[in-house]
Amino acid sequence: MIRALTSSDIEVLVTYSENQARVQHSFFCIFLRTVQSLIHSYGLILVCLFGHLLVTAETPADKDFHKNVRVYIRAHCSSCHNSAESKGGVNLDVYDFAFNVARRGQLFQKVVKAVEDKTMPPNNRTRMTQAERDTMVAGINRILDKALAKKDPGPQIMRRLSHREYGYTVKDLLGVDFDALAYFPSEASGGEGFDNQSRVLYMTPLLWERYYEAADSIMRQVRADDDLWSGLVPKSYQPSVFRRIGNWWKGRGDNPIELWSKPAIRARETILPLAWKTYRRFLDPQEEEELLTFFATVYTENWQKKNAFDDALAVVFKRMLVSPKFLFRMEANLPTNTPYEVNNLELASRLSYFLWSSMPDAQLYEAAYRENLHDSTVLRREAQRMISDPKFKRFSESFVPQWLGVQDLVRNHQADPNKFPEFTSSLKEALSQEVIEYFNYVFKQGDLLKLIDSDFSLINEELAQHYQVPNVVGSEMRVVHFTEQPRGGILGMGAVLAATSLPTRTSPVLRGQWVLENLLGTRIPPPPPDVPDLVEARGHVKDEFDLRGLLEFHREPSECQGCHQKMDPIGFGLENFDAIGRWRDGYREGTVAIDASGIWGADQIAFDGPLELRSILLQDKDKFAENLTRKMLSYALGRGLLFLDTHTINNLKNQMIKSNFKGEDFLIGLVNSYPFRHRRSDQVDQYKDNVL
Amino acid sequence: MSEHAFSRRRLLKGLGATVALPFMHSLYPSSVFASTPTKRPQRFACLFMPNGAYPPAWTPTGTGSDFEFSEILSPLSGVKDKVLVLSGLMNKNSISRFDGHYTKTANFLTSMPITRTVDAKVNAGGTSVDQIMAQHIGNETLFPSLQYGIDRIRSGVDLAVGFTRLYGGTISWATPSTPCPREIEPRFAFDRMFRNHIPGKKPLPPDPYKKSVLDLVKADTKVLERRLGIEDQNKLGEYLEAVRSVEKRINQPANLEDFAARITPDVRKELQKMDLRIDEWAEYSEGVDITKKVRLMIDIMVLAFWSDASRVATFMFGNSVSSRNFSFLDGVSDSHHSVSHHNRDPRMLSQYQLISKWHIEQYNYMLERLDAIPDGDGTLLDSSMVLFGSGLSDGDRHSPYDLPIVLGGRGGNKFKTGQHVQYESKTPLAGLYQTMLHAMDLPSQQFADGEGPFCELLV
């Protein structure tokens, strides 16, 4: 136990000793903190001083870990998963204490799963007996359960409005339509793949510049529209003729700072309510005063001009639109070690940005102000109201395309225009719309499993022509049952089928991967780097017909086999849909029949065609439930999911299965969940300054 | 359909049926800096190509000044004496056991390993070399640096490999953890710099309260800081940094006046033409003609260098793993990423080669534009360093060795151009970045795995 101690080791020690009730806040902790600050301040590296502490500080949990887990790790895992080799990026050799295991909970959950499933140790190694497996799994679970017993809502960093949220907020606040997604530089995603994840919502000089120009252009639009403006400024102010003469004599305008002067009262009446809405909270007296003073300055400098009052208000509104108080959703950080409920207004914002991608409306504010939003009855009532509001469609628009990975279809998808001249931008728009409308519909119908399997979709005339369905007239999307072809559910949607194709042809591999990852949450590891990537891209492929033979060849025993035998059959099951989602009976102008059969899963179930494929997928509804839970939770919290979310995920997933995939119940459960309503303090670290 | 025959805008603008002249079709004798004998400002641009190039089809034959361009590089023959083709370089830190593309894109200009994460710890290992330059010389221009592209950044995360796709769409990093967003709309990019200088367009009305607003929002952050946790404060720090950079630009009226003075009648004529071309492109070619879009973005960069609006720019031809459909090229029927996995099939290789060559043609376009503008005793190209490269060599194997790298321009007559230099295999690419920093007289003692400047390239 001789090695250099770094400050993170000390951090671990402190956490560790704090976890042990018997030494909480003891001299030992204080002593360690002191040592830590010494390391920070002086860069001291203390060698082996505390070695004996580490050894002697062995707890019952550690003994349990050593006896029931570590022995098996040493015997069965370490030969590959060690510091030198770290096979698959996993090194299990460094875990000597129970608290280390708890800190890498996600990793050890995977270990548990691999040992339970018997995927590890691999077949070519010494087998573990069932008793050994059970002991090891139980031992790890004891540590993980203990770690999860303490509720933790996870980190919550303030979120900048995503571009979509910015657009909708401006719409709801000022009534202006503003295409924020086109106006601001495009952004990447984080977490489980969404654009509302706090850590990737950067603020950069270019973006700030754009925010300023956007505020400018938005305010100009509002000013130009009398209806909008009078909505914001119900009572404008124009000095009377006498007043003007008087002002002209005095050489200055009405002093809006004088508390009871008419423009001052009017300005206060106009600015403050809008400021509350813009900042999504009440203002401090200083904040109010600062806004009114700014108004007064602008007004007094321009008092001779016509519309000086309104123009000055517009400048103040603009100033609010570029403030961090508007652009970021902030939550108070309380100095406490225990997680706490966010306040009512903050919860209102969490709700509205989750369900509406926008600010709360008057009714939600009213509820937040007069009642306790944390009360599950109130919360249920409000959530239900919001879900039945037309604005809920924004949830479908934002969440669904990102979850299904079809959000880039309109702007970025590249189908070969020579081969598919029919794939116009208007068609792409309609295809994207279909996904959103369909989700919205089945959500309200109450059965999310219809996403996987159904015999209908919502289409308009353009899509009907694309899908070769007769008798659909008009641009409005409506429910249409497919009687002639086995289409239906998201696996029959052109958006999904095109997004999983290459520019010139279909790709069974991509489609299979898509189903496994986006619907069932099964991660397919990438092909090893620095070897040829997509197997199917190898030569000899003139068109789709050749693919089957080629892929079958590559599924013969090899390093590719493991994954391709999972992915490819699913993709072949969908081969009757071409690269832009049209039905086809065969390849090469229908001259060569399509073989859409395959064998699915560990149970080797045979299927033929999309219909049977879908019903087989339905049997995996637990996986579907877990995946959808993860996606929605990550979207709701604006962060990637962590080990500490395990219980929340499991509870919500079980709820979903129990309620027979009823979307509304699930969302209400989600907004009632612990992390959605709680916050943990991100305390100002006294050592922070020394670190940097 | 030719756009010129039907351009309504052209008619409206009273320009009749004049044929759209190519950018800077004629040489103007007087340049912005022609009369000033002082040291010419140096410029840096980087054009990044996704998906690599096949080394046998890329590498020139012969080394030193006696070399023959390969087919892919042949478009450069007009500026052969002003380019350096560098073979044998590698980006060691781009090797990853997890992934073939993201880890070879985000760190193209940082030469450090990137952190495997979907969001929590986005980090490119270091500040990219263009941003290091911008931090040193950016203050001298209105816009410290420009980041351009033509595609929206790909959204989503690659959960299978554990990377956010952000990594595939960013080569410029202001700090190791702050990616610089890219402009992809010619109109936005152009207006940001030149909106108030386009002949015939009314300048935007002055904004007398912008400065007060900047002060007020800065004060907002001060008040808020006290109520927030550490990570929130870091976010506010980003905000404050952004505000300051805008403030710097408007607080120094001298800078704005200097800039206005550099918009000479010659530049103004080009601005007018560009303005028109962008409108025409938006009306007729948007979403159809990618070559035109690339050239617009390149011309905007050239204008930025010419008017000294900025001296540092990066441009991405596509996100990594770009599946751009190149069937508009004769002889190409497949997408970029697909043909990059050619398995040595001659039909795939020939398409791969054609696509690579298209990229070089666009690069050559930029070099020739720069070379057509007088600057001091020479041309803008002589005072610039225009890097072209990819994070892969052979896309089929995701190979990080023997990267395709060309440096165009003499960087202020610092480089011995007109050569093909063959480095020993596995020579760090970072060494080239050190060389460029050195040529700019910037401190370059250490940069990633670089082992010092390539002195043999320098005059």
- Inter-chain CB proximity B120 and A640 less than 8 Å: yes
What is the rounded end-to-end Cα distance, in angstroms, of chain A? 29
Quick check: B330 contacting A, CB < 8 Å? no
b or e along B64-96 (b: 16 or more beta carbons within 10 Å of the residue's beta carbon)? eeebebbebbebbeebbebbbbbbbbbbbbbbb
Whether the Cβ atoms of residue B150 and residue B47 lie closer than 8 Å to each other: no
The H or E element that residue A646 is part of is: helix A646-658
- Inter-chain CB proximity B122 and A199 less than 8 Å: yes
Beta-carbon contacts of residue B288 (< 8 Å; ≥ 6 apart)? none
459 residues of chain B, pLDDT tens digit each: 344 444 455 544 544 444 444 455 444 434 444 444 457 899 999 999 999 999 999 999 999 999 999 999 999 999 999 999 999 999 998 887 677 678 889 999 999 999 888 887 899 999 999 999 999 988 889 999 999 999 988 888 887 778 888 999 999 999 999 999 999 999 999 999 999 999 989 988 888 999 999 999 999 998 887 788 888 988 999 999 999 988 888 877 777 888 899 999 999 999 999 999 999 999 888 777 899 999 999 999 999 999 999 999 999 999 888 888 898 999 998 888 888 888 888 888 999 999 999 999 999 999 999 999 999 889 999 999 999 999 999 888 888 899 999 999 999 999 999 999 999 999 999 999 999 999 999 876 789 999 999 999 998
Interface of B with A in 130-149 (CB under 8 A): 147
- Inter-chain CB proximity A187 and B323 less than 8 Å: no
pLDDT one-digit tens code per residue, B379-409: 999 999 999 999 999 888 888 899 999 999 9
Q: Are strands B378-379 and B374-375 parallel, antiparallel or unpaired?
A: antiparallel
User: Where are the domains positioned within chain B?
Assistant: 3-192+265-457
3.40.720.10, 1.20.140.70, 2.60.40.1730, 3.30.1330.10: CATH of B3-192+265-457: 3.40.720.10
B233 CB neighbours in chain A (<8 A) are 684
Count the Cβ atoms, other than its own, within 10 Å of residue A335: 8
Kindly tell me the burial class for residue A75, based on how many C-beta atoms sit within 10 Å of its own C-beta (0-12, 13-18, 19 or more): middle
Q: What distance in Å separates the CA atoms of residue B453 and residue B437, rounded to the nearest whole number?
A: 8
Whether the Cβ atoms of residue A652 and residue A629 lie closer than 8 Å to each other: yes
pLDDT one-digit tens code per residue, B154-179: 888 887 778 888 999 999 999 999 99
Compare CB distances from A412 to B152, B166, B343 and report the shortest one's residue: B152
A500, pLDDT greater than 70: yes
User: Where are the domains positioned within chain A?
Assistant: 4-149, 161-329, 340-390, 399-618, 622-679
- Inter-chain CB proximity B228 and A333 less than 8 Å: yes
Q: What distance in Å separates the CA atoms of residue A691 and residue A426, rounded to the nearest whole number?
A: 54
Closest residue on chain A to B150 (Cα): A412
**DSSP conformation letters of B333-393:** -SBHHHHHS-TT-HHHHHHHHHHHHHHHHHHHHHHHHHHTSEETTEEGGGGEEEEEE-S-S
Q: What are phi and psi of B320, to 5 degrees?
A: -65, 155
A302 CB neighbours in chain B (<8 A) are none
Q: What distance in Å separates the CA atoms of residue A519 and residue A516, rounded to the nearest whole number?
A: 6
Record the pTM.
Answer: 0.87
Quick check: B295 contacting A, CB < 8 Å? no
Residue B68: what pLDDT?
96
Residue A27: what pLDDT?
54
- Inter-chain CB proximity A187 and B327 less than 8 Å: no
Q: What distance in Å separates the CA atoms of residue A276 and residue B134, rounded to the nearest whole number?
A: 40
A16, pLDDT greater than 80: no
Interface of B with A in 221-240 (CB under 8 A): 221, 223-224, 227-233, 235-236, 238-239
Residue A349: what pLDDT?
97
pLDDT one-digit tens code per residue, A534-586: 444 444 455 666 666 666 655 555 667 777 888 888 999 999 999 999 999 88
Closest residue on chain A to B399 (Cα): A530
The alpha carbon of residue B200 is apart from the nearest alpha carbon of chain A, in Å, by 21
Peptide linkage before A121 cis (omega within 30 of 0): yes
Compare CB distances from A322 to B119, B213, B342 and report the shortest one's residue: B213
- Inter-chain CB proximity A526 and B161 less than 8 Å: yes
CA atoms within 13 A on the CB side of B248: 14
pLDDT one-digit tens code per residue, A400-453: 999 999 988 887 777 888 889 999 989 999 999 999 999 999 999 999 999 999
Compare CB distances from A503 to B178, B325, B342 and report the shortest one's residue: B325
Residue A190: what pLDDT?
86
Residue B187: what pLDDT?
95
Q: Give the mutation candidate from B188, B217, B250 for the A interface (greatest A CB count, under 10 A).
A: B217
Which comes out higher in pLDDT, residue A360 or A596?
A: A360
Q: What distance in Å separates the CA atoms of residue B318 and residue B290, rounded to the nearest whole number?
A: 11
**Does ipTM exceed 0.90?**
no
Q: What are phi and psi of A487, to 5 degrees?
A: -100, 165
Residue A29: what pLDDT?
52
State whether the Cα torsion A654-A660-A665-A671 is positive or negative.
positive
Residue A399: what pLDDT?
96
A188 CB neighbours in chain B (<8 A) are 153-155, 164-166, 169-170, 179
% of chain A with per-residue pLDDT over 70? 83
Average predicted confidence (pLDDT) for chain A? 84
Q: Give the mutation candidate from A407, A412, A544, A564 for the B interface (greatest B CB count, under 10 A).
A: A412
- Inter-chain CB proximity B398 and A322 less than 8 Å: no
